[in-house]
């Protein structure tokens, strides 16, 4: 059984550099379970070689030998996360994926909890309280190259969210420009319970089996 591990804001290690340079697309897949844990989490950051080299230089300045060691630096157990890179010309994709069940102890950045019988999920790690400058052409050009695509699966039917698309237990956010910095990912879903009909059916089968056993013993 895989033990639960804590998500510390690992994304900020790379996003702090990427945000300041612009030109990136982040794609996140997150699956939440009914016990308020994340059973699957993956983030792919697609950016330019220029931005990647800045991340690499930042890693060296902080004493790390590679971007991989930099990305995994705050993990208590590096085996709980997997990091990989892929290259296509000038485009670099940095992928970060969990290999263990995850839970959060930082509600300011990642909130997963049961409230009044519902599951509440909020991911604010992309959002910032700082004002985004859109007053000049350079700032507008930088923001135009930023995108966040977030795919979330909750344990039950989603009843409230700020998502662009909701389909049952699944929701999608497609953010660009300044919206990527100002929009927290928020969703509230039902929490599934053990189906009564299925449980009753199991009791009926068990009762039938006991009855057959008694009849067979009586015959003997």
Domain ranges of the chain: 5-194
Task: Strands of the chain (E only): list them.
Answer: 5-7, 24-32, 38-48, 81-88, 91-98, 102-104, 110-115, 118-123, 146-153, 158-161, 165-167, 170-176, 185-190
Residue 3, pLDDT score: 39
Eight-class DSSP state of 207: H
Residue 20, pLDDT score: 64
Q: Which of 35-49, 79-93, 121-135, 195-209 has the lowest mean pLDDT?
A: 195-209
* pLDDT averaged over every residue in the chain: 78
| 3-class DSSP state of 102 | strand
| 3-class DSSP state of 202 | helix
Contact (CB, 8 A) for 95 and 28:
no
State both tokens at 100: 């263990």
Tokens 């300041």, residue? 20
Name the more confident of 145 and 94: 94
Name the more confident of 75 and 88: 88
The β-bridge partners of 115 are 118
């Amino acid at each position: 059984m895989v033990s639960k591990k804590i998500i510390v804001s690992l994304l900020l290690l790379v996003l702090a550099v990427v945000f300041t340079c612009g030109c990136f697309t982040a794609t996140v897949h997150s699956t939440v379970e009914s016990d308020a844990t994340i059973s699957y989490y993956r983030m792919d950051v697609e950016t330019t070689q220029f931005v990647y080299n800045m991340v690499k230089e930042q890693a060296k300045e902080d004493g790390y030998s590679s971007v991989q060691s930099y990305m995994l630096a705050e993990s208590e157990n590096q085996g709980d996360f997997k990091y990989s890179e892929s290259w296509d010309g000038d485009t670099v994709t940095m992928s970060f994926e969990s290999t263990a069940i995850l839970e959060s102890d930082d509600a300011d950045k990642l909130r997963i909890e049961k409230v009044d019988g519902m599951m509440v999920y909020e991911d604010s790690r992309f959002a910032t309280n700082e004002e985004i400058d859109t007053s000049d052409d350079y700032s507008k050009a930088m923001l135009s190259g930023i995108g966040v695509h977030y795919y979330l699966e909750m344990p039950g039917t989603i009843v409230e969210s700020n998502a662009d698309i909701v389909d049952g237990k699944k929701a999608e956010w497609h953010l660009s420009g300044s919206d990527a910095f100002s929009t927290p990912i928020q969703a509230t879903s039902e929490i599934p319970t053990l189906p009564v009909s299925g449980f009753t059916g199991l009791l009926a089968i068990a009762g039938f089996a006991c009855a057959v056993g008694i009849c067979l013993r009586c015959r003997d």
